[in-house]
Every structure is written in C-alpha cells, then in structure tokens.
Structure 1
Amino acid sequence: MIQQYDNHSLGNVHNTVITEGKTGWRRLLSFLGPAYLVSVGYMDPGNWATDLAAGSQFGYRLIWVLLLSNMIALLLQNLAVRLGIVRGLDLAQASKRTYPRFINFCLYILAQIAIIACDLAEIIGMAIGLNLLFGLPLIWGVSITLFDTLLLLFLLNKGMRKLEGFIISLIFIVGLAFLVQMFIVQPSVIDIAKGFIPTKLNNTSLYIAIGIIGATVMPHNLYLHSSLVQTRKIDRSEEGIKSAIRYNFWDTTIALNLAFFVNAAILILAASAFFGRGYHEVAEIQDAHKLLTNIFGKLAPALFAIALIAAGQSSTVTGTLAGQIIMEGHLNLRIAPWLRRLLTRLLAIIPAFFTILHFGEEGLGKLLILSQVILSLQLGFAIIPLIHFTSDKKRMGNFATKLPLRILAWIFATLIVGLNVRLVIQEIATWAAASPGSANLVHYVISPIAVAVGLLLVYVFIRPILYKHTSQKIYVPHGIAEVLDNLDAVSYNNIGITIDFSKNDQDTIRHALMQGGKKAHYNLIHVVETAGARYYGKQVMDSETQSDVDNLEKYIATLIKLGYKAEAKIGYGGPATSIAQIVKDTKIDFLVMGSHGHKALKDLIFGTTVDSVRHKVNVPVLVVKPQKN
C-alpha cells in the first residue's frame, strides 16, 4: 500500500492544479509546468561560465559531456518525480523520516549553503547582465537584485500556474536569444555532429568536464521537483499514479532537452565565435560579451546580455521555492516566503559586495566558479538518499525503481560524486599552494571540514541500508490531529472589537454581536497612531486623538441604545502592541478584528496588524474580511 502524509510540501499550492476530467492535449498541458521551473537551474549563470570555457578552449569536442550531463539529469529528476507522486513527499520530507534529527539539521545546513551559492550565481549573472546591457556599475546591479523579493511575493500570490507562465516566458526569451545568435555566428554543423562522439579527456578538459557536470546537475532541483509535482491533483489509484508519472516524464524530457539546447548553444557560440578565431581563454562572461561586440557588432552581445538577465531572474524565483521546501522538510520550520527570500538574498549579496570592493569586478568570475564548487559538495547528499527512497519496495510498492534503472542510477551517482570529490580536492590543493597564509587555513580549517562532510556522506549512504524499514518519528509543522471528544458550544462574556473608523467597522461590530449577543460585554478598541501618540502616549490630546475619542463614543452610544453593554478603550502608538495590552488588561476572552484587505506590496508598506496581534494574544481572534460592494 502506498503511504501518504498530510504535511504537504508547499501547502499553499498543493493539489491546486486540476488534471482529472481532461483528455488528450488538455490533460498533457495540465501536467506541463513543474519541470520548466526546474529546468532554469540547468541554464543559470553558473552553467554559462563552464560552457564558455569549454567552447573557447576545446571547440565542439565537449558537447558529448553536456549530453551525458543531460541524461544523468533526466534520470535523477524522474526519480524525484516518482518520489513526489507516489509517496506524496518531497526529498527533504523523506529524509526527515529516515535520518535522525541531528543528521537532518546537518543536511539542511548543507542544502541551505548550496542554495545561497546558487543564489550568488544568479546575483552575479543578473548584475553582469545589467552592466553589459545598460552600463550599470556592478555594485549597483548587485544592489538592485535585492528587490526581486517583491517580484517573487507578487508571483506567489498569483498562484502556481501564473508563476509557471512567468518562468516559461523567461525560458522562451533565453532560447530565442540563442537561436538568433546561432544564425549570426553560423556554426559548422559537421563539427557540431562530431562533438557528440566521446573523446579522451586530458587534465584540463577533465577539469572543465567536471565543472559542466557539477554545474548542470544541481541538488536543489531534486528537492524542488519532488515538491512541484504535488501541485497537480491526481487520482490516487494505481492507474492514476502511473498516468501522472507518465505525463510528468514527458514534461521533464521536454523541459530538460530545452535546457540542453541552451547550454549547447552557449558552448557552440563560444566554439564558433572564439575557438575558431584563436581566442582560447574566454571564461569570463564580460570577456565573451566584449569579443562578441568586436566580432559581430551590437545585436549578438545585446541578445547575450538579455538572455543572461532572464536566466538569472528565473533561477532566483525557483531557488526561493527550493529554500522553502528544504526548511519545511528538514526542520519543520515554516516562515513567510518573502522573509525567507530576503534572508537568502542578503546572505548571498554580502560575499558579492565584499568581492567587488576588495578584488574588483574581475573577482566576480572567480566567485562564480567557487559557487559551483560549493554546489558540487551538496550533490551526493541529495542523490544518494533519492536513490535509496525510490528503491524502497515497502514504501514505493509497485512503483519502486526496477533493478536495471537502479544500477544505472548508482553508476551515475558514483560518477557525479567521484568527479565532484576530485574537483573539490583539486580546488583545495590549489588554495593551499596559493600562499603560506592560505595553506594554514586549508590545513587547519578547510580540510577538517571536508573530512567531516565526507564522513557525513558515508553515513547518509549506509544508514538506509542498515535500518531499511525503520522510520524516524514524524514531526509536522502543525502537529498531529487530536481526537475530537468535546464540541460543546463556547460562550464569550468579554468581547473586544477593533475599530478603525472605516466602512469595515459595521461588518466587524455585526460579527462580534453574533458571537456574544446581549449577554456579553463589548470593548470597542481604537489605537491612535499619530507621532505624538507614539511619543507621549496617554498625555497626548491632539485634534486627531480628540476626533477619534468622539467617534468612538458615538459607536458606544448607538450600541447602548440598542440594548448592548459597551465601553470604549483607547490605545496609543503601535497598533499590535497596544491592542494586545488592552486585551490583557481588560481580560478580553474573544477578539474580533477587521482585515484591511491589503495584499503583497501593501502588506510590506502598511504592515500586517492582524498577524502581529494573533501572535501577541492568547485568546481566539476572529478576522472579518471587508465585503466588496
């Protein structure tokens, strides 16, 4: 029997896209979307650096490495899809049920570092794109990227299909830009075909090949995909699950092949424009743009910059979703998406600022490569558990991966982990040889951390084998449902009503009176928020305060005339704190509040008093939404 849990991943959009009752192309289109959000991670600015280096140094010879990377990605993303659809869990949630709490905390820290590293690549790519297109200084470009938090908040409030549409539009811009550039550079079709034939790798080409694989197969995409497929509402029968897996396979195949096209286009562009003209050391994005300008004029470099901005912005949005999934899955910690986005972006912006200020603009290219090395460290911690979870016949039932596919997955995992370990060792050796100071840092700090991370990876691999059918205690953010054994009616004697002298007051008061009738006592609460009230409190008596007191007394007189017991309560300064204090002092046992109706941007500007009050009081709160006329 397939196990499923109620602690849904990305709960606000879980099962929100209807797939049942549709046939043919409409049914296929209802499943399309999740893989496109995932695919942007396969064509982010981190990929650009490795593809440019491969094309400029080796021409078309490493296209086969891109193809191999794409095949590995297809297999692993489809395993993530299978986990999400069959068990109704994302990768982080499945890890929570398999590994001890401390190990999950370590896995969360590593995954969060990887997301920050990925976000760092998006910041750098976006800043470079703005610099190339508009001449904006990089330090300003990095600062501007802070404000895409508002864009993400807006998109999340619009629903999953709107978010997918936005991402697909950006991918279309990237693909179209490179398609036009292919006509401009006119690559050799015969040489491109030869590039798909595997060739022997020397030390330099092996390093680039490792970078391509490390930059292509990103760990956060596996967390993301296993969650996004759950946004589709499907029939939970065996046939329904099988159908969902099949449709998502096509979604993944189309999206990742599009990502392969973009990466191959970058490599082909570099091979045609640079390698063929003797420019063999083009690894910096700025250098590539400059050379394109010199060789082809203004159109090709402009398209290059536009595609870079679109790739960076789309990857930023999906990185935020992955961060939310990882935090909720590993730690059962759920915070506002905009706050999580802002924290992640700030943690990524700090090293970008430091690099520009201390090492200059040329240091950003090296920082971009370093971000890919950090990403490579996390790969094994996502791939190994994923293969274990999808191979478990007890929990996956008939949908457990078959032996041939399992063997292939382990071969790919060994290849990825092995190559990335080699890359990390190589980088550590390079850092150690740079200077005596850096050698000490490597020997006493970086090397011990690398060893600890390696031991953790071994544990992650071994534990599911040793404790095959043991699950950790399940902790969910909202707790386990209790037995309902007492549902008697509750009566409230002292009811608070917040008043703001708007058209919403009538609805708020009406709903409060419905709760207590004429037996309860009503406290009409209003908070004076003038500058004087914030500084002087009860001593203030400016015109606004006097007007508010008079208006409140009119409400009280009307209620008393209708036979209700009511009195006024005035607060001063911050609304949430003042309301909470009045509730405590007056011993109010039920609070009714009117919602201001703000959404997205206005919430950030005007604040969310209702949410703040809810966290400050220990009584039930009824929120009355304003009625539309």
Structure 2
Amino acid sequence: MPKSLSLRAGLGSVLFWSVISAAFIGPGSVTACAIAGSKYGLQLLWVLTFATLGTVWLQEAAARITIATGKDLGQVITQTYAGAGGRRIAWALFLAIFLGCAAYQAGNILGAVAGLALLTGFPVPTLTIIVGLVCTALLWIGSTQGLANMLGLVVFAMGGAFIYVAFGTPVTPMALTKALVTPSFPDGSLLLINGLIGTTIVPYNLFFGSSIVSGQSLGEMKLGIWVAVVLGGIISVVLLLAGLLIPNDFSYPHMAQVLTDQLGTWAGSLFAFGLFAAGFASSLTAPLAASVTAQSLLGIRKNSPVYRGIWLTVMATGLTFGLLNVTPIPVIVAVQAINGILLPFVTIFLFAAVNNRSILGDNYCNSMSQNLAMGLVVVVTAVLGLWNVWLAIQAG
C-alpha cells in the first residue's frame, strides 16, 4: 500500500517546494504583473492562470522523473538521446538555459539594486558593485540556501501587503473570475504576455527542481508543488490587481507610493525591501541553476573551474547591465519575454522524457490527461513565442 501523507510531511513538502514559487516571484513578476494591471486592467489575468497551472504540470513531471529513476531531468534526457546527436541536444538545451539564466540575471540585479536605491538613495553603481560582490562571495563559499529562504519569506510578506491592497481595488468577484479564465489579446500586449509566462514558468526551475526532489514520495511532491506554486500564482494575481491603482505609467516609486497611501509608510518601505529581496534571492539562484544544469546535462563536476566559470559568467552579465545604469523596467520585461520564447524548446524534451516508458515504466509515465495538459503548455507557448518572433521580424 502507498505510504499515507501526514500533516507534518505535507507542510514540510510545501515549505520545500516554496523555493520554486519564491524563484518566480522575483523582480520580473513584480514588474510584469504590475505593468499588466496598470496598462491593461484585468485583460491579462488569464495569462497568470495558464502560467501557474503550466508551472505545476511541468514541475510535477520533472520531479516525477527523478522520483522514478533516481536521476534528474538532464541525466534522463542524455540517457534518452545517446551518441553524438544526444550530445548536441544536451549542449543545445544547456545553451538555452544558460542564455535564459543570463537574461534573468540582468533583471535580477537591476531589480535588487532598484529596491535598494528606493530604500537608501545611494548611487546605483555603488549598490550594483555591493550586490554583485556579496552574491559572488556567497556562491563561491556555497552559503546560499538559508539566505535565499529567508529572503523568500520577505517576498511572501510583501505579497501579503499586496493582498491587502488588492481588496481596495474596484473589482467585483464576477469580473475577477471571468478575467481569470477568458483569454484576450489587447493591442500591443503580446510581449507582455510572453513576459508573464516566462517569469512564471521559469525554464531553469525544471532542471533545478528535478535536481532537489530526491527523497520525497509522489504524494509529498505533488502536494508540495500544487500548494506552493498556487500560492505563488495568487501573489502574481494580487500584484496585477495592485497595478490597477497606479494612475500613471508604471514605475517602482509609483508602486511604493500606492502601498504607502493604502497602508502607511511602512508598506512602501516593505515594497522596496521586498523588491531588493526578490532580486537578491533570484541573483543567487539563476547563476547556480545554470551551473546545476551544466552538471546535469553535460556531466560538469560540481565546484570545478568550469562549474564556477559558468555561474561567474551569468553573474557578470547581470553586473554589466547594472553598471551600464540601464533603465530596469524595459529590460526586466524584455528578458522575461525572451525566456517565454525559449520555454517551448525545453518543454518539448521534458514532454518526450516523461513519456519514455522504457525508462520510467508504466506507473510514472504521463497519463492521457497529463499529456493533454503538458501538450497545451507546449503548443500555446510555442505559438506565442513564434508570433512574437514574427512580429519582431516584421518590425525590423
């Protein structure tokens, strides 16, 4: 008989998988969701429903592979595609994840520094150097997990403030429910739609989550992912609703002012610190995820010079954008959209791996309903990504 799931084990699993929701509630989510609400009202809420469910389906599939085989997603992919062709596939997947992590890191550093600048008023270049050096030191010595978890709690506290603010928006339950399930594509919204997807269904989280799941039962894993990711999705929704209250073009000072007006000065400061915490925590996970993916797909030894060189390159990318003092919001939206475009390339191989009965057996392979759900994510993200590329070509 399958092992029953105790309350303690269930709560432990939710806390364990909160690392995934904390990873996607970064500067990208704060920015993209608030801009969506400020610019398009409720019209893009359906994207968050799709992206949250997509995250659950894909993370569950990646974790199930590890539970079934004792190997992570990258190792199963390399086992499935052997020989020279398999090596090329592994390198192509690694490069896609690496580019995505580098793009994310640019937004992470810019978001973390923007939050600190709101709090302290210190010069952006100085703050960028400080953030970069601290992140690099923590990654070098390997002391990241506890700090990332603590900062994740700050991000969730910020989400609690936004939940309170969301109740002050003039939105009826009927309108909210309808917007959550009714697709719409307002003019000029396609890049932001891809951004909302890319900042929620984070491609590197599929490899990262698969690499940390060992030791959990299927029941613990499923409960933990469903609860943790849906909570993250709820925070994304209330971030969008809070954006409805921003009367002018979105900016971080405007968002801080909205919270200050609704709750008091402490809430504006909490937003600034939460933005920093989200960016800083993600600045630790994105470089690390690039190296973990290389370890999984390419067999790179942990903490080898190549392993460290990979995360150092990702870190350097973020620092370069920070030191160039570029405007953070357009960059953050753009890099989330890039990851939304890269996402189908990764999910196609996950889809193939989780249907490989010769490796997983009948008990762990996808069911028909799971294939339909994953297939929907693959098709929708591929269509939206190609649509965005086509529009970019036409504009060029």
TM-score of the alignment, normalized to the shorter chain, above 0.5: yes
Q: Among 291, 316, 319, which residue is 2:286 paired with?
A: 319
1:82 to partner: Cα distance: 0.7
- 2:136 aligns to what? 149
Task: Give the percent of matched residue pairs that are identical in Structure 1 and Structure 2.
Answer: 23
The answer on 1:106 being equivalent to 2:92 is: yes
Q: Among 112, 117, 121, which residue is 2:107 paired with?
A: 121
1:126 to partner: Cα distance: 0.4
The answer on 1:264 being equivalent to 2:229 is: no
Partner letter of residue 149 of structure 1?
T
Q: Among 240, 246, 269, which residue is 1:302 paired with?
A: 269
Partner letter of residue 367 of structure 2?
K
How many angstroms apart in 2 are the aligned matches of 1:287 and 1:76? 35
- 1:410 aligns to what? 375
Secondary structure in 1 aligned to 2:300?
A: coil
- 2:338 aligns to what? 374
Measured on the aligned residues, the alpha-carbon RMSD in Å equals: 2.7
How many angstroms apart in 2 are the aligned matches of 1:141 and 1:424? 35
The within-5 A match list for 1:19-58 is 24-58=6-40
Measured at CA, do residues 228 and 300 of structure 1 come closer, stay the same or move farther in structure 2, by a change above 3 Å?
A: same
The within-5 A match list for 1:1-80 is 24-80=6-62
The answer on 1:347 being equivalent to 2:329 is: no
1 or 2, which has the higher helix percentage?
2
How many angstroms apart in 1 are the aligned matches of 2:135 and 2:243? 30
1:229 to partner: Cα distance: 0.2
How many angstroms apart in 2 are the aligned matches of 1:421 and 1:124? 27
How many angstroms apart in 2 are the aligned matches of 1:87 and 1:127? 41
Contact 2:207 2:293 in 1 (8 A): yes
How many angstroms apart in 2 are the aligned matches of 1:47 and 1:428? 27
1:181 to partner: Cα distance: 4.1
Measured at CA, do residues 143 and 410 of structure 1 come closer, stay the same or move farther in structure 2, by a change above 3 Å?
A: same
The answer on 1:200 being equivalent to 2:184 is: yes
How many angstroms apart in 1 are the aligned matches of 2:224 and 2:68? 17
Partner letter of residue 385 of structure 1?
F
Consecutive unaligned residues in structure 2, runs of 5 or more: none
The answer on 1:88 being equivalent to 2:75 is: no
How many angstroms apart in 2 are the aligned matches of 1:400 and 1:295? 49
Q: Among 122, 129, 132, which residue is 2:118 paired with?
A: 132
Which consecutive aligned stretches of 4+ in structure 1 deviate over 4 angstroms post-superposition? 290-297, 337-340
- 1:421 aligns to what? 386
- TM-score, L = length of structure 2: 0.87
How many angstroms apart in 2 are the aligned matches of 1:366 and 1:23? 45
Partner letter of residue 381 of structure 2?
I
How many angstroms apart in 1 are the aligned matches of 2:15 and 2:148? 9
How many angstroms apart in 1 are the aligned matches of 2:41 and 2:188? 13
- 2:364 aligns to what? 399
The within-5 A match list for 1:204-603 is 204-230=188-214, 232=215, 244-271=217-244, 273-274=245-246, 278-279=247-248, 281-282=249-250, 284-289=251-256, 298-336=265-303, 340-354=310-324, 356=325, 361=326, 363-397=327-361, 398-430=363-395, 432=396
The answer on 1:171 being equivalent to 2:152 is: yes
Contact 2:74 2:296 in 1 (8 A): yes
Contact 2:44 2:184 in 1 (8 A): no
1:338 to partner: Cα distance: 5.7
1 or 2, which has the higher strand percentage?
1
How many angstroms apart in 1 are the aligned matches of 2:179 and 2:152? 25
Contact 1:149 1:338 in 2 (8 A): no
Partner letter of residue 10 of structure 2?
L
Secondary structure in 1 aligned to 2:366?
A: coil
C-alpha deviations, 1:403-424, integer Å up to 9, x for none? 2221221122110111122223
**Higher relative contact order (CA closer than 8 Å, sequence separation 6+):** 2
How many angstroms apart in 1 are the aligned matches of 2:127 and 2:392? 29
Secondary structure in 1 aligned to 2:213?
A: helix
Secondary structure in 1 aligned to 2:80?
A: coil
